[in-house]
Amino acid sequence: MSWTTPEDHPDPTLARRFGARLRGRWGRPLYALRSTPSTQTVLHRLAADGAPEGTVVVADHQTRGRGRYGRSWVASPGKALLASILLRPARSPPRLGEIGLAAAVAAADALETTAGVAVRIKWPNDLLVGSKKVAGILAEAALEGAGGGYVALGVGINVSQGPEEFSSELRGRATSLALAGGRPVGREALLAALLAELEARYRTLSTEGFPPIREAWLARAVLGQRVVYGGGEGVAVDLAPDGGLIVRNGDGRLTTIVSGEVG
Ligand code: BTN
């Protein structure tokens, strides 16, 4: 099976540029595209064909980038790090929520060490600088495939967009590392740092379980905002031992939610 469709445009030069900076095991193999509908779609195709853990797909541009809750993820060509990483957790079904939270901690560390910005995490895995979103994470699981079950972890990081590159609707809520006053950082160095941090946090999750990830997540958490969820609304107060969000309702009752919109 080919890993591309006519809508995918592989770019060997881009692959060499990204590949040259990698230090760990992850990112081998690495596939790079000038343009694709979504790096997630390409990674799912590779995974179904038996690609190994640590396979990475990056792109300069996505025509149908996906966000959480079926939303789209839009970024100007060449200005964002758009990456999908293949994980093959031993546990089946994988604990997708815990993996997403571990990835948020890893990405926050990578942004801070490379760009020098202070990053906080909004449940479950939105990365904020101040009150604006600079990066998002999408974890998609599949239970079957040539190599068994897997998780496609998609990470989108706004790197060098200017204000005019965000729609008027997004401008108040989204930012880039450049706009947030970060040190100039290339997407290649950012991917290398992200993969190194991810590999380490994912290993911790596999060997020690969720508690150390929960601690690291809480150290960066934004809590206290309004949360709207299926059963009502309340205020985010804590992270549950299973990665759910503990919400205090208007009547003081605590509820743990697994999905919902944090304000
Ligand atoms: C979110 O915050 O809603 C998650 C956004 C995830 C976006 C990334 S960009 C690379 C990868 N490919 C996609 O289509 N989506 C993820």
Q: Ligand 1: does its nearest atom lie under 6 Å from the Cβ of 138?
A: yes
Mean of pLDDT values over 11-28: 96
Q: How confident is the model at residue 147 (pLDDT cuts 50, 70, 90)?
A: confident
What pLDDT sits at residue 94? 86
| pLDDT > 90 in the chain, percent | 90
pTM (whole model) above 0.85: yes
Strands lying side by side in the sheet with 80-87 = 9-10, 30-35, 56-59, 80-87, 150-158, 132-142, 126-129, 120-122
Q: Whose CA is nearest to atom 16 of ligand 1?
A: 154
Range picked from 86-95, 120-129, 251-260 for highest mean pLDDT: 120-129
The CATH class that applies to domain 226-262 reads mainly beta
Mean of pLDDT values over 198-204: 97
Q: How confident is the model at residue 171 (pLDDT cuts 50, 70, 90)?
A: confident
Measured in angstroms, how far is the CA atom of residue 251 from the centroid of ligand 1? 36
Assigned superfamily of 9-218: Bira Bifunctional Protein; Domain 2 (3.30.930.10)
Measured in angstroms, how far is the CA atom of residue 252 from the centroid of ligand 1? 35
Mean of pLDDT values over 181-199: 97
Q: Is the peptide bond before 93 cis (omega within 30 degrees of 0)?
A: yes
Residue 13 to residue 27: CA distance in whole angstroms? 15
Q: Which of 163-167, 174-178, 199-203 has the least mean pLDDT?
A: 163-167
Measured in angstroms, how far is the CA atom of residue 254 from the centroid of ligand 1? 31
Q: Ligand 1: does its nearest atom lie under 6 Å from the Cβ of 154?
A: yes
What pLDDT sits at residue 1? 73
Q: Under a CB-based contact definition with an 8 Å cutoff, are residues 43 and 55 in contact?
A: yes
Residue 131 to residue 173: CA distance in whole angstroms? 7
| pLDDT > 70 in the chain, percent | 100
Domain with CATH 3.30.930.10 in the chain: 9-218
Residue 84 to residue 92: CA distance in whole angstroms? 20
Domain with CATH 2.30.30 in the chain: 226-262
Mean of pLDDT values over 113-132: 97
What pLDDT sits at residue 153? 98
Q: Whose CA is nearest to atom 9 of ligand 1?
A: 156
Range picked from 56-60, 148-152, 249-253 for highest mean pLDDT: 56-60
Give yes or no for residue 169 having a pLDDT over 90.
no
What pLDDT sits at residue 244? 96
Q: How confident is the model at residue 25 (pLDDT cuts 50, 70, 90)?
A: very high
